[in-house]
Amino acid sequence: MHAIMHNQISLRMIFVITTLVAVVIACFQNLPRGVIVSALMAMLAMLLVTFTLFAFAFVLMLPFAQLGKYLDDQSDDGSSPFAQDRLPTQIIPPVDRGAE
């Protein structure tokens, strides 16, 4: 798991990937060619349907994002302490370390 977070591929990962590919190839070798083609077509169709659903959800949410951006531009920033170029009030007063 630690190797996935880096930009390096460890020898262990290469062995795992090679083993998984070998198992998949061994499973597909005994199947007729029509089953392999239909399985690949099903995987491609699932990818296409997933991409289409995500694109549709993106298009549906885009107007709401634009509306939110428009409403944020219209909001009054008078409540922000930084609007008057001053720091916010401190809840806990600062401790003078030199007095100890």
Render pLDDT for 42-99 as a digit per residue (tens, 0 to 9).
999 999 999 999 999 999 999 998 888 878 766 555 566 666 666 777 788 778 777 6
Q: What is the pLDDT of residue 83?
A: 65
Three-state SS at 9: coil
CB crowding 69-82: b at 16 or more within 10 Å, else e:
eeeeeeeeeeeeee
Instruction: Grade residue 3 by pLDDT with cuts at 50, 70 and 90.
Output: very low
